[in-house]
Every structure is written in C-alpha cells, then in structure tokens.
Structure 1
Amino acid sequence: MVTRSAVLLVLGRVLIKAFLIALAVVVIYPLVWMLLNGVKSNSELFSNPFALPVAWKWDNYVTAWNRGVGDYLTTSVLVTVASTIATVFISAWAAYGLTRVNIPFNKAVLILILGGLMLAPTVALIPLVKMFQSLGLYNNLWALLILYTAFRVPFTTFLIRAYMMDLPAEVDEAASVDGASKARAFWQVILPMCKPILVSTVLLNILFTWNEYLFAMVFTSGGALQTLPVGLTNLMSKHGTDYPVVFAGMAIAAIPVIVLFFAGQRYFIRGLADGVGK
C-alpha cells in the first residue's frame, strides 16, 4: 500500500524537476533565440522574430567577424587571460600568506585587502582617469589589465583564503620536514590541493572581465584596443543596423564563455561549496 509520505516524496521530486526544467528553458531560450536570429535576414527578423529561419544565412557570422568582431575577440582574450592569471596568482599568494604563514599584523593586512570589496569602481572613475592620463597609460591595454586585477584581487583573495583555511596544517609540517621552503610548499603542495577553488576563481574572473563594459569604454578607444562588449556597439549604425549581424557578433562573444563554463563546472561547484560553504 502506498503511504502518504511516499506520495508526497514523489510529488516533491516531480515539482523540483519541473522547476529545474522551467529554469533551464528560461536560461537557454534567449541563447537559442539569439543564435537563430543571427542566421536570418533583417526583414525576416522583424517580420517574425520568434520563427525558425527560412534561409539560414551563415554568412552573417562571417560578416560580423570581418566587421571587427575578430579583432575585438583577440583583444578580449588577451586582456581576460592576462588579468585572470595575474589576479588569481596574486590572490593565491596573499591567501597563502594570510592563512599558512605567520606574518606581522596579519589581521590588519586581511582587513586592508578585504576593504577593497567596499570600493565602488564607478565612484573612483574620474580620479582613475586622471591618474592613468598622468602615468601615460590612458588608452592602453595596460590600463585595463591593472584595473581588472586591482578590483578583483580582494574578492578572489577572500574565496581562496576561505578554501585554504580548511586545508590540514599537517600538510605544511610534512613539506617542512621534507626540506621544502615556503615558496616550494606553496607551488608544489598547496596550489595543487586548491585546484577546485582556483578553477572557480578563474571562471568568475573570466566572466567579469569578458563582460565588463564601463572601464573598457572609458579607458580605451579605437578598434585595435576595444574589447567585445564595447566593440559590438560599433556594429550599430545610425543609418540602419543589420541586426542579424549584431546577433551573430553577440553569439560569437557568448560561445567561448559558455563552452569554458561547461568544461569547468564540476570544479566550479566543488570549489565554491568546499570553500565558502564551510
């Protein structure tokens, strides 16, 4: 005989699965819609934007690439990779020093670093422009690299530190007994053990840098220096916009991040759950 608790359990599972399916549709549908509208003609897009394409115009992606999306993609990859590597390793060193090494004024340094979380980038925009102009770094990719690294180090340090705090102290003692220096223990022992949280922070920093618009718009100008979020606005024209080409450019910008996230999602979830979740 089926009990009431068993029925409620089955009903609960069905409702949870239905909710997750609905959530997946809500998330995936806009991406599919964007991809499909990227292979339509302009008239077809405006006449029926929710229908399947009549003629699949894959040359829209070629047109978008030739109109500068290829250059914007190259710049975004360069800035994203460089700033992510710098941010993660600076943050990992800082987290290691705060959790595994006895340094003077440890708490004060921690408060100083985490205090950066309270800084609003938009509030500091005008002083930053003046400072980078005086340093000769305005309209330079070094400006974006420095800014993205500086504003992401506090949050990244917070995540990696939370993960390192749960690593057993015996690991450091064993490395010390084997004659390993602090630097060697960091590179060969601690960092490999922090792989999940490192992947998580890498993905988070990539998502931030790849989609960042304000700094990229203010501190760079010209096609060779513009990143994807800013460069895609150049596909818009005052005299008429080929919207399928714009959608194609947006799809080109979205696909690398989507693929990267799905490739690292296992470590992403594990890293956040084992670190901040404890």
Structure 2
Amino acid sequence: MYDIQPADHKERSDRVLAYRAGVLENVLSYANVIFLIPTCNRGRRKNVVKKMKKIVLYLFCILMTVFFIYPLYFIVISSAKSNTMIFENPFLPSLDFHLENFSKAWAAGIGRQFLNSLILALGAVVVTAVFSCMIAFALTRLRFKLQGAVRVYFVMGMMVPIQSIIVPIAFMTNTFELRDNYILLIFLYSVFWMPLSIFIITGFLYSIPVSLEEAAVIDGCSIYKVFFKIILPLIKPAVATASIFVFMYTWNELLTAMIMIGKSELRTISVGLLNFVGAHNSDYGALMAAILIAILPPFFMYLFMQENVVKGLTSGANK
C-alpha cells in the first residue's frame, strides 16, 4: 500500500504539469489571435489604402483628361454639323457632314483675319525674344547699380494686366491718331509679355554655370561672342517656352485688338469670331469651323516644340 502512494503522487504531478502546459499553450494561442491578427489587418489596410489612392488618382486623371479633351472633341464634331443637328445631338458625331461650314467661315473673312493674327503674333514673338534674351543676360551676368531694383521692376510687370491700363492707352492712341497701326500693337504686346519672358529665360540662365563663360573669356571671346556663340544656343529651350506663351497670348487676345483696330480688314481672328454670333441668329456650325481653324496654329506650335517647353520650365528647378 505504501509503495503505490508515491506512484499516484507522481502521476498527479504529471497531470498537473500537463494541465498547466495546456493552459499556457491556450493563453499563447489566444495572445496570437489578439495581437497577430490586427497586425495582419494593419498590413492589409495599408495595401487597401494604397490601392484606393491609386484608383482615386487614376479616376481624377481620367476626369481631367475628359474635361480638357471634350471641348476640342465638341468643336471638331460640331464643325461638320448644321445648327439643328448641334442642338439635337450635341455629344455624338453625325454621318451627314456639312463641310460648307468651312466655306462659310472662309467667306466671312476668317482667312484674312488668320493672316492678321499671324503677323501680330510672330512680330510680338520676335521682338519679345530679342529684347528678353538681352535683358535676362544683363540681369544674370552683369553687375551694375540698382540691379536688384531693375529685376524687381520687371517682376512687378507680370502683376499688371493689360486690361487695367487699356483706357489711357486707348485715349493716347486716339489723341495721336495711332489706331489701326500694327507696329504699335506689336509693341504693346511685346511690352506686356516681356516680363514673363524675362522671368523664364532668367531662371534658365541661372542653371548655366558661369565657369563656362569665364573659360570663353580666357580664350579671348568678347562679351558679344559669349552671348551670341555660347549663351544663345544654350537658352533655346527657354526662348522656345517663352515664345509659345507670347504667341498664344497674342493670338487669343481680344480686348486690345477690339479697341486698337477699327478697320474690318485689319481685325484679328479672335475679333472675327464674334461676327458669327448675332443678337437674334447665330450660325454655330460656321462658328465651330472658324474656331477649329483658329486653334490650329497654337496647337501645332506647341506640338512641335513641346520638348523644349518641358526643358525650359524644369530647368530652373534642377539647377
């Protein structure tokens, strides 16, 4: 009898140890359930949040693309429709093409107005580019008194819209009988777009190391050779960027052209588009055809020079 008791005591001890081990194992398993599952959920939540952000970004890009492309799409399909078809089905193209809208637009003088706008825009581009390059070079490379004040003066010019001083300009042109003068209009456009052009070219010039010009001076180059032989070839992207902005602004400008030009044969294309909209009757098909003709020059100019535009706009940030 006394020999059995130790065995029973040992067996009970083993059972207690096994029970405690089981309890500990259950506690650990519950701990894993409590702490590890939320950790997994956090990782899954992060992945879900990232995917949702991408989806929202893609949807936003798609909406913005539709927002910018739809007006062009509407102009293209409406240029070959009649007035009735434009209002009956404005969203889908029609199989019944009305190409006479283009002949109506051309007969209304859109061709002559196209040429007038082209003369003004190209003239403003040339004048602005020539003077902006020289002024930007002087502001970034030369040292003279009141240099900072001159730089601030040109920057402040970007804050003055042409509409704010159009009344005194119109009064002066009428007083001195300077209306219907393309040279004056090109001068006005160049003066008002020049601060922006100087700002773009100046930012590009700051990204060009001065040591390049110093080496050219040591080799015997004068300041004029440095400007024409070294600087001008390097700042072509900035000049192209500024030229595109000046061209588009001059091409689309309406108020100054309406005030400064009175003769119908000298009107620009932006003013000529108003002739297609009347108080009681409007030919929207011919208007859309004229608009399509009007947007072609800026579109193709940007299309062929877009690489230079990107370089010109990003150069200042990468200096």
Normalising by structure 2, we get a TM-score of 0.80
* Aligned counterparts of 1:34 and 1:196: Cα–Cα separation in 2: 31
1:178 aligns with 2:219: yes
Structure 1, gaps ≥5 residues long: none
Question: Which of the residues 68, 83, 106 maps onto 1:27?
Answer: 68
Match of 1:233 in 2: 274
Amino acid at match of 2:306: Q
Bigger mean CA deviation after superposition, 163-172 or 7-16: 7-16
Q: How does 1:143-162 map to 2 (within 5 A)?
A: 143-162=184-203
- In structure 2, distance between residues paired with 1:217 and 1:276: 39
Q: 1:72 is matched with which residue?
A: 113
Partner of 2:300 in structure 1? Answer: 259
Which deviates more, 249-258 or 44-53? Answer: 44-53
Query: In the alignment, is residue 133 of structure 1 matched against residue 170 of structure 2?
Result: no
Structure number, greater radius of gyration: 2
Corresponding position: 1:48 with 2:89:
yes
- Cα distance in 2 for residues equivalent to 1:255 and 1:24: 20
1:124 partnered with 2:168: no
Deviates more, 1:108-117 or 1:8-17: 8-17
Could you say which residue in structure 1 is the equivalent of 2:99? 58
Asked if 1:218 corresponds to 2:259, the answer is: yes
Q: Which amino acid aligns with 2:314?
A: A
| Shift in alpha-carbon separation, 1:136–1:184, aligned structure 2, 3 A | farther
Counterpart contact for 1:159–1:276, Cα < 8 Å:
no
Asked if 1:96 corresponds to 2:137, the answer is yes
CA deviation after TM superposition for structure 1 residue 8, in Å: 5.3
CA contact (8 A) 1:71 1:223 kept: no
Work out the number of aligned pairs and report it. Answer: 277
Native 8 Å contact 1:61 1:249 kept in 2:
yes
8 A Cα contact 1:34 1:247, kept in partner: yes
- Relative to structure 1, the CA distance from residue 16 to residue 80 in structure 2 (aligned partners, 3 Å threshold; closer, same or farther) is same
The 8 Å contact of residues 216 and 226 in structure 1, kept in 2 or not, is answered as yes
Q: CA-atom RMSD, angstroms?
A: 2.1
Query: Could you say which structure has the higher helix fraction?
Result: 2
Is 1:105 equivalent to 2:117 in the alignment? no
Query: Secondary structure at the residue paired with 1:18?
Result: helix
Which amino acid in 1 is paired with 2:275? N
Deviation digits for residues 106-126 of structure 1, max 9, x if unmatched? 122222222322323222112
In structure 2, the gaps of 5 or more residues are: 1-42
Amino acid across the alignment from 1:129: A
Q: Deviations over 1:43-74 (max 9, x none)?
A: 22222222321411122112212211101110
Q: Check the 8 A contact 2:196/2:242 in 1, yes or no.
A: no
